[in-house]
Structure 1
Amino acid sequence: MADPHPSRPGEREDRRSLFQKLVEFIKPGPDSTDELIETLAEAEDKELIGAESRVMLEGVLRLADMTAGDAMVAAPRMDLLDIDAPYEELLHQVITTAHSRFPVYQGERENVIGILMAKDLLKLQRAPELNLRTLLRPAFFVPESKGLNDLLRAFRVNRNHLAMVVDEFGRTAGLITIEDVLEQIVGEIEDEFDIEGDEGDIFALADSTWRVAGDTPLERVNESFGVHLGADPDGDLEVDFDTIGGLIAHEMGHVPKRGETFSMGGLDFQVLHTKGGAVRWFKVSPTPASVD
């Protein structure tokens, strides 16, 4: 005969042993983000979740405490296009920086009037009579204090992938992309310039040049190209450098920007890609012999 009073879901949940209830009373669940992160670490130690899952979950938790100002690209490092620049100059900058979206300004860099998709620039090549302004898309502005959770939601709803960040006085503080937000959760997102591998720091290109990662050890660069970069027989260098990017930044006196070139030791280094204030990739070629 069927039970006339079957157990309800809520009743089943209450059928815990006295030991379980005692453990929960003595050691309650986490009541703060830090405690929850510690709990995730314990779960990884017990092999209940994997390391990548723990890192991602921690990123989600920390995202709630971060703002646009924490993850943005600061204004001095933004790549902008001038609405009044010649087409050839715009095209060169788009190719050199390799972004898919660009803030466009008029007059002063502070005066951002819209966003240009790199693919839209090709329309000018096919129809030069078009006005660049007609290709601009509205710029999306957010305050520095905007939470990344809210910003990610806004990116999804508005289908924007880039936002201009303004400070409390309405001045441009920087820009932030949906990739910048997602990287807070999943870590750095690899792009076409990012190639992993222990031996993946120097690549020969079809035009007899090389692509060299900025964090390539100087010893490997010297060995590969038969040069002696970083060698300091006179003891003039106050700091020893481990990577080619660090040495070139020191020699140039500033963090190199995309498109900049520097010659050293018989080699020309052109900055292909930067990220986080450091050079990710150089294009390297032999310095042309001077003609007397």
Structure 2
Amino acid sequence: MSDEIEGSSSAAQGAQDTETPPQDMGLLGRLAWALSPNSTETDEEETGAPRNGSAVPGVGNLRAMRVEDVAIPKVEIVAVPADIELADLIETFRDSGFSRLPVFDGTLDTPMGMVHLKDVALKHGFNGNGGPFSLAPMLRPLIYAPPSMPIGVLLQKMQTERMHMALVIDEYGGTDGLVTIEDLIEQVIGEIEDEHDTSEDAYWVQEKPGCYLAVARTPLDEFQAEIGMTLVEGEDVEEVDTLGGLAFMLTGRVPTRGEVIPHPAGVQIEVVDADPRRIKRLRVRLPSDLGVRAAAEEGAEAPLSETEA
């Protein structure tokens, strides 16, 4: 067995050692190796990704796709001003669910860097001895990338400079969008879900009374039974099966991340996560009266106070 492996390895090296990446490479190193000219001939055959970009994850996307293809538009960027207070910064981290936030001076076209949740927590959260809050000492640098840069080049740059976030800069020097290293890797290996994503076994979680975080494929009939409301009627009942389909029906298009879609019944549907092709996660807020009712139902088993009695 070992003789066969050694023989085949020697034969490969005799031609040119380009068919397999070095074994000591990490994940990003192997992705970078895939960008080498010697690997271009077989990428499309192996990954099934055409050279002009594809919705199908694959190594070929590293060359075929540009930064503008995966960037979050400027209007959807969650960022904070340089003079933000600690309480507001923590609230922004909590509401967005992100661990890194761009920091700007005045407008997003004047970026100053990035703040990491871990830096804030270590200095002002875990030990409680951080002293007066100042954002400037915690700022980390950002990468600036043009929209036309191949995503494979940006991925290599992120690996080399050990930065996981980049701002997309237009020809006039203004901010055009934002890209994270996760956005790039997802184009190769598919969607990545972290600990804060809704689990596969649960279509939704109730964040608080009257507020639900749900995946787009949540069956609409099950969710309607949960909230006690009818969100589709008439002919639409046969056309819409999921929450994501409901959002699409209400807008007539694929809504963008961060967009809030009003429902005629008073429900608000916020697009928490989406890409140009599909919706991934939604936050559904019930009308205030239903939210109060849900809270009351949760506390129905609690003993009544003397005043209530």
Range into which the TM-score falls when normalised by the shorter chain: 0.5 to 0.7
The CA deviation at 1:134 is 1.3
- What is the number of residues matched between the two proteins? 245
Alpha carbons of structure 1 residues 290 and 115: separation in structure 2 relative to 1, 3 Å: closer
SS in 1 for 2:233: coil
The CA deviation at 1:99 is 0.6
Q: Deviations over 1:112-139 (max 9, x none)?
A: 1110002223334633513211111122
Could you tell me how far apart the structure 2 residues matched to 1:154 and 1:193 are?
A: 28
Matches within 5 A, 1:12-51: 37-38=44-45
Could you tell me how far apart the structure 1 residues matched to 2:288 and 2:68 are?
A: 41
Q: Deviations over 1:97-122 (max 9, x none)?
A: 11111111111121111100022233
SS in 2 for 1:134: helix
Does the 8 Å CA contact 1:214/1:280 hold for their aligned counterparts? yes
Could you tell me how far apart the structure 2 residues matched to 1:71 and 1:40 are?
A: 19
1:82 aligns to 2:85 (yes or no): no
1:184 aligns to 2:178 (yes or no): no
Could you tell me how far apart the structure 1 residues matched to 2:42 and 2:228 are?
A: 53
Q: Deviations over 1:226-262 (max 9, x none)?
A: 3211225xx8x8x954432453576589947659696
Does the 8 Å CA contact 1:97/1:259 hold for their aligned counterparts? no
Alpha carbons of structure 1 residues 213 and 289: separation in structure 2 relative to 1, 3 Å: closer
Does the 8 Å CA contact 2:142/2:163 hold for their aligned counterparts? no
Matches within 5 A, 1:154-173: 154-173=157-176
State percent identity of aligned pairs.
Answer: 26
Does the 8 Å CA contact 2:76/2:258 hold for their aligned counterparts? no
Does the 8 Å CA contact 2:72/2:177 hold for their aligned counterparts? yes
Which has more radius of gyration? 1
Unaligned runs of 5+ in 1: 1-6, 15-30, 42-54
Alpha carbons of structure 1 residues 271 and 156: separation in structure 2 relative to 1, 3 Å: same
2:31 paired residue number: none
Could you tell me how far apart the structure 2 residues matched to 1:202 and 1:169 are?
A: 43
Query: TM-score of the superposition, structure 2-length normalised?
Result: 0.64
The CA deviation at 1:82 is 1.5
Does the 8 Å CA contact 1:212/1:281 hold for their aligned counterparts? yes
Does the 8 Å CA contact 2:142/2:167 hold for their aligned counterparts? yes
Q: Deviations over 1:70-91 (max 9, x none)?
A: 2211211111111223332222
- Per mean C-alpha deviation after superposition, the further-off stretch among 202-211 and 74-83 is 202-211
Could you tell me how far apart the structure 1 residues matched to 2:257 and 2:40 are?
A: 38
2:98 paired residue number: 99
Alpha carbons of structure 1 residues 130 and 248: separation in structure 2 relative to 1, 3 Å: same
Report the AA paired with residue 72 of structure 2.
V
SS in 2 for 1:282: strand
1:217 paired residue number: 219
Query: TM-score of the superposition, structure 1-length normalised?
Result: 0.67
Alpha carbons of structure 1 residues 279 and 139: separation in structure 2 relative to 1, 3 Å: same
Matches within 5 A, 1:238-277: 241-248=240-247, 255=255, 258=258, 265=265, 269=268, 271=270, 273-276=272-275
Q: Deviations over 1:153-194 (max 9, x none)?
A: 111111101011112332211111111110111011112214
Could you tell me how far apart the structure 2 residues matched to 1:271 and 1:94 are?
A: 17
Residue among 184, 190, 199 paired with 1:195? 199
Report the AA paired with residue 37 of structure 1.
E
Report the AA paired with residue 64 of structure 2.
D
Could you tell me how far apart the structure 1 residues matched to 2:188 and 2:218 are?
A: 27
SS in 2 for 1:151: helix
Could you tell me how far apart the structure 2 residues matched to 1:213 and 1:40 are?
A: 28
Alpha carbons of structure 1 residues 89 and 271: separation in structure 2 relative to 1, 3 Å: farther
1:111 aligns to 2:118 (yes or no): no
Report the AA paired with residue 85 of structure 1.
I
- Per mean C-alpha deviation after superposition, the further-off stretch among 157-166 and 202-211 is 202-211
Unaligned runs of 5+ in 2: 1-6, 16-37, 49-53, 293-309
Does the 8 Å CA contact 1:271/1:282 hold for their aligned counterparts? yes
Alpha carbons of structure 1 residues 212 and 147: separation in structure 2 relative to 1, 3 Å: closer
Alpha carbons of structure 1 residues 98 and 39: separation in structure 2 relative to 1, 3 Å: closer
